């Protein structure tokens, strides 16, 4: 029995965020009841909900709620309702990016996992992925093209010019490399570093740094791959990858690819870690078309809860959630995204209830 007490900030956000978050909290309550620990929570607005209730995507009280918490459970942000706003004020850029920067969440761990039982849901030819696959992308999250200065747009005579800057300190590369090598140690001990060293100065230092850090991890194999090739290899033979480590922009692109080929976008959760507070979220986004319909897959949010417990050192508790999800899938209680053609699918709340019942 664990006797811990933890305090989390709950940022459900927009779209299907609140619906899937409700299921995640339901399951967390069941696990804490079973194991005898407590998770107190403070609910705060973020994204479009922040704009509607407090006038901005990342309200001060939300930042405070996160500062006071041991970890943040995040839903999703964004939707058509806020798309007319200037880009910097929209839910995604106005909330997610500042949240990452403010809390120094420099490492984003995003899995691309295709379970053997779910290969039918992957768009990859099934003979290429018979046993499924299990990739972990470690994406640098607070540097590079997303945050580099200068960035501007200005007139130049009759023309216009725009500038974004890809800027990295070596220290930022070292710390993300360590996250990747550490993660690989608990897995199949292979790190593929993805760069564009045939073009970018950034990538030259990146590659050198990965090699340097790898010397402290002689038990882990390090490979290098250009990003264009990596995008191709992911769909040709995803099984060659264990841990992928890459910069912010490349990571953004490759993690979408890795998640969609897994066929289970609705099941993948991610962790963003850094200095102090860690943040856990499903990777599926706000899926506005499904909002309010009780059809979204709550498993990614529920599994984000498992990642959060693991972060608190509650391994057995986290495993209990994973097994409950696993059983629920095998029992056939899944939302429409995972149902086989012609099979009945469950609602969001039904899946949540089934998983809770398994705890």
252 is catalytic: yes
Question: What are the E-state strand segments in the chain?
Answer: 5-13, 38-43, 71-76, 107-114, 133-140, 148-156, 159-165, 190-195, 221-226, 243-246, 269-273, 278-282
Phi then psi for residue 53, to 5 deg, are: -90, -30
Residue 46 engages ligand IPM in binding (rule: CB under 6 A):
no
Residue 172 engages ligand IPM in binding (rule: CB under 6 A):
no
Whether the Cβ atoms of residue 168 and residue 200 lie closer than 8 Å to each other: no
Residue 300 engages ligand IPM in binding (rule: CB under 6 A):
no
What one-character DSSP code corresponds to residue 338?
A: T
Binding residue (CB under 6 A) for ligand IPM from 9, 51, 95, 96: 96
Instruction: Report d(CA 350, CA 164) in Å as an integer.
Output: 46
Q: How would you classify the pairing of strands 159-165 and 269-273?
A: unpaired
The distance of closest approach from Cβ of residue 16 to Mn ion in the complex, given in angstroms and rounded to an integer, is: 17
Instruction: Select 140 or 242, whichever has its Cβ closest to ligand IPM.
Output: 140
134 is catalytic: no
Which two structure tokens, joined as six digits, stand for 77?
Answer: 């942000």
Q: In Å, how far are 14, 106, 139, 239, 290 from 133, measured between CA atoms?
A: 31, 26, 19, 6, 28
Instruction: Select 19 or 252, whichever has its Cβ closest to Mn ion.
Output: 252
Binding residue (CB under 6 A) for ligand IPM from 252, 310, 317, 337: 252
The distance of closest approach from Cβ of residue 126 to Mn ion in the complex, given in angstroms and rounded to an integer, is: 26
Q: Which listed option, Mn ion, ligand IPM, none, makes contact with residue 222 (CB within 5 to 8 Å by class)?
A: none
Q: Which listed option, Mn ion, ligand IPM, none, makes contact with residue 69 (CB within 5 to 8 Å by class)?
A: none
SS3 of 250-290: HHHHHHHHHHHHCCCHHHCEEEEECCCCEEEEECCCCCHHH
Residue 337 engages ligand IPM in binding (rule: CB under 6 A):
no
Residue 92 engages ligand IPM in binding (rule: CB under 6 A):
yes
146 is catalytic: yes
Catalytic residue, chosen from 216, 228, 293, 315, is 228
Catalytic residue, chosen from 14, 195, 242, 252, is 252
Q: Site residues (CB under 6 A) for ligand IPM? A: 92-93, 96-97, 252
What are the residue numbers of the active site? 146, 196, 228, 252, 256
């Amino acid at each position: 029995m664990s006797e811990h007490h933890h305090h989390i900030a709950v940022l459900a956000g927009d779209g299907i965020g609140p619906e899937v978050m409700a299921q995640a909290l339901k399951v967390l309550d069941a696990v804490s009841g079973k194991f005898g620990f407590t998770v107190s929570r403070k609910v705060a607005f973020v994204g479009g909900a922040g704009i509607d209730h407090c006038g901005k995507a990342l309200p001060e009280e939300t930042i405070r709620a996160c500062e006071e918490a041991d970890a943040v459970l995040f839903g999703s942000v964004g939707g058509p309702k806020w798309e007319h706003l200037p880009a910097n004020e929209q839910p995604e850029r106005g909330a997610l990016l500042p949240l990452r920067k403010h809390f120094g969440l420099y490492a984003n761990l995003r899995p691309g996992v295709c379970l053997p039982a779910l290969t039918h849901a992957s768009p990859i030819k099934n003979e290429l992925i018979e046993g499924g696959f299990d990739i972990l992308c470690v994406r640098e999250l607070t540097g590079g093209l997303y945050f580099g200065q200068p960035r501007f747009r200005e007139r130049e005579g009759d023309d216009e010019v725009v500038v974004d800057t890809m800027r990295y300190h070596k220290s930022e590369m070292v710390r993300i490399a360590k996250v990747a090598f550490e993660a690989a140690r608990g897995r199949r001990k292979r790190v593929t570093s993805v760069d564009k060293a045939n073009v970018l100065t950034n990538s030259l230092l990146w590659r050198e740094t990965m090699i340097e850090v790898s010397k402290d991890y002689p038990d882990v194999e390090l490979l290098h791959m250009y990003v264009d090739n990596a995008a191709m290899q992911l769909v040709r033979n995803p099984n060659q990858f264990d841990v992928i480590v890459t910069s912010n922009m490349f990571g953004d692109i490759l993690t979408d690819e890795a998640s969609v080929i897994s066929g289970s976008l609705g099941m993948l959760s991610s962790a963003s870690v850094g200095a102090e507070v860690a943040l856990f979220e499903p990777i599926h986004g706000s899926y506005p078309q499904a909002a309010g319909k009780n059809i979204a897959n709550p498993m990614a949010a529920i599994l984000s809860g498992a990642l959060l417990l693991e972060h608190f050192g509650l391994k057995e508790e986290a495993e209990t959630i994973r097994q409950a999800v696993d059983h629920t899938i095998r029992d056939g209680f899944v939302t429409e995204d995972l149902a086989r053609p012609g099979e009945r699918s469950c609602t969001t709340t039904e899946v949540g209830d089934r998983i809770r019942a398994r705890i």
